[in-house]
């Protein structure tokens, strides 16, 4: 797309946008008694207006049926999680057998690590990106200690080359090859939360498997954001939250992917719970765990109906829009944003985009490294009615999401950014 630094261009693109009316299907937060420009879907997605009806429906079922709501409503709670399966599979590029919605993100990560981090002999190392999201770091550290290893030796962190902000794919693959004889697991974020870099998950998975390791991804910033083909890439496992790009509420439920080649491996170690037990025998209450085939065999407890009701409403919007269409608009929005930031002409000694320039190497987010008075710039943007995200010590994350953000909002953000930078100086 050929961009133009004009409001007329932005409005023209919005008129062509097939999703221009989707914005009206979300609630907009208020700043200064007016709708804010919300570029923080990478932290918490906006609330779909349909979510309340789905939630109210289950609240009414609870009121009307009490325990019989598990069986006698139009959406029986006994099978409620199954209502989410097919739409979830479409979002992450999986077969329905390979996905399940349950628990929360880090709980699911630990459950996957129990099964897929199995250090033996010389193979005990985990490769991950340096400065991964803290919860991932803590999970990997604690899992290494649980198996009797020093995390300083077991967890291999990958950092960019000096003077660079993001990892090169060739360096990731080279590290996998370097540690191949000691490697048990490659576990990275699909997108780095800080820089917004989208990793080449297909290449990383192929290299990890060639080295004899298992490969998994934390997809918190990737699910609902970029095109995923977890089945075709042969990823062993993936986990994600649903409250960011998937708009399913604060602390919302989580998703899990387990490739079908592990679907019927009952011998695979796991922490078991009764909802993962064979559904035909679940209520017989017998000893002896017999896992359901597929990702469902990792379930622990019965479904969290109220968070899942909100998630169901959000998934319907994704199904209606289609991930291919959303991804196309996302690339155009971030491309426009990058173009406008370049037009501002801020010197790199003051402001630098540290997210990859290649649209195929990023999602919705651009991370701005602010070298002078970063917190002040963030405060000025918020005062101007723009909600973005600040990460210590000096990065502002800006995430125009295709479901509810517009080209005009991107243009207006850039104008405010220009003004704020001039005010700072």
Domain definitions of the chain by residue range? 7-35+324-424, 55-319
Q: Is the pLDDT assigned to residue 147 strictly greater than 90?
A: yes
Q: Is the pLDDT assigned to residue 367 strictly greater than 70?
A: yes
pLDDT for 157: 98
Q: Which residues contact 95 (CB under 8 A, 6 or more apart)?
A: 89, 231, 260
pLDDT for 424: 55
What average pLDDT does range 297-326 have in this prediction? Answer: 97
What average pLDDT does range 52-76 have in this prediction? Answer: 97
* Cα distances (angstroms) measured from residue 194 to each of 121, 125, 165, 168, 270: 34, 24, 10, 16, 31
Q: Is the pLDDT assigned to residue 421 strictly greater than 70?
A: yes
Ranges 235-249, 313-327, 348-362: which has the least confidence: 348-362
Q: Is the pLDDT assigned to residue 425 strictly greater than 70?
A: no
What average pLDDT does range 38-59 have in this prediction? Answer: 98
Q: Is the pLDDT assigned to residue 161 strictly greater than 70?
A: yes
pLDDT tens by residue, 270-305: 999 999 999 999 999 999 999 999 999 999 999 999
Q: Is the pLDDT assigned to residue 28 strictly greater than 60?
A: yes
* Angle, helix 305-321 to helix 85-92, in steps of 10 degrees: 50
Evaluate whether 133 touches 220 at the Cβ level (below 8 Å).
yes
Q: What is the mean pLDDT of the chain?
A: 96
What average pLDDT does range 399-408 have in this prediction? Answer: 97
What average pLDDT does range 371-399 have in this prediction? Answer: 95
Joined tokens for residue 294: 């597929």
Q: Is the pLDDT assigned to residue 199 strictly greater than 90?
A: yes
pLDDT for 32: 84
pLDDT for 276: 96
Q: What is the domain class of 55-319 according to CATH?
A: alpha beta
pLDDT for 345: 81
pLDDT tens by residue, 109-132: 999 999 999 999 999 999 999 989
- Cα distance between residue 319 and residue 118, in whole Å: 37
Q: What is the CATH number of domain 7-35+324-424?
A: 3.90.1150.10
CA 45: distance to chain centroid? Answer: 11
pLDDT for 163: 95
Of all residues in the chain, what percent are helix, strand and coil, respectively (each to 5)? 45, 15, 40
pLDDT for 144: 98
Sheet containing 237-241, strands listed edge to edge, beginning at the edge strand earlier in sequence = 99-102, 254-258, 237-241, 214-218, 183-189, 125-129, 155-158
- Cα distance between residue 275 and residue 388, in whole Å: 39
Q: What is the largest CA-CA distance in the chain?
A: 71
């Amino acid at each position: 797309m050929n961009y133009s630094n004009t409001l007329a261009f932005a409005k023209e693109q919005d008129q062509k946008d097939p999703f221009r009316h989707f914005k009206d299907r979300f609630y907009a937060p208020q700043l200064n008694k007016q709708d804010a420009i919300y570029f923080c879907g990478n932290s918490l997605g906006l609330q779909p207006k349909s979510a309340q009806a789905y939630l109210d429906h289950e609240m009414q079922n609870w009121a009307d049926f009490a325990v019989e709501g598990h069986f006698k409503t139009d959406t029986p709670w006994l099978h409620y999680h199954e209502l989410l399966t097919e739409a979830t599979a479409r979002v992450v590029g999986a077969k329905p057998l390979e996905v399940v919605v349950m628990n929360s993100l880090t709980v699911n990560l630990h459950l996957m690590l129990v099964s897929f981090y199995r250090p033996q002999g010389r193979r005990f190392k985990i490769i991950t990106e340096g400065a991964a999201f803290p919860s991932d770091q803590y999970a990997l550290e604690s899992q290494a200690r649980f198996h009797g290893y020093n995390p300083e030796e077991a967890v291999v962190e990958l950092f960019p080359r000096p003077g660079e902000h993001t990892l090169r794919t060739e360096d990731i693959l080279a590290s996998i090859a370097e540690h191949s004889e000691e490697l048990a697991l490659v576990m990275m974020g699909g997108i780095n939360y800080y820089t917004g870099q989208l990793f080449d998950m297909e290449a990383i998975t192929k290299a990890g498997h060639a080295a004899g390791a298992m490969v998994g991804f934390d997809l918190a910033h990737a699910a609902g954001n970029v095109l995923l083909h977890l089945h075709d890439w042969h990823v062993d496992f993936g986990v994600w939250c649903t409250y960011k790009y998937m708009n399913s509420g604060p602390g919302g439920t989580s998703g899990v992917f387990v490739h079908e080649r592990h679907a019927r491996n009952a011998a695979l170690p796991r922490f078991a719970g009764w909802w993962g037990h064979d559904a035909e025998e679940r209520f017989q209450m017998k000893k002896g765990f017999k896992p359901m085939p597929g990702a469902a065999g990792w379930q622990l407890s019965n479904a969290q109906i109220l968070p899942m009701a909100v998630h169901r409403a959000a998934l319907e919007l994704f199904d209606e829009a289609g991930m291919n269409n959303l991804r196309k608009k996302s690339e155009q929005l971030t491309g426009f944003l990058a173009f406008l930031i370049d037009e501002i002409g801020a010197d790199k000694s003051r402001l630098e985009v540290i997210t990859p320039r290649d649209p195929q190497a990023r999602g919705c987010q651009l991370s701005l490294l602010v070298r002078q008075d970063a917190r002040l710039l963030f405060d000025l943007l918020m005062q101007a009615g723009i909600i973005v995200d600040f990460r210590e010590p000096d990065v502002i994350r800006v995430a125009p999401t295709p479901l509810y953000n517009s080209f005009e909002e991107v243009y207006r953000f850039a104008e405010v950014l220009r003004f704020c930078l001039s005010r700072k100086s």
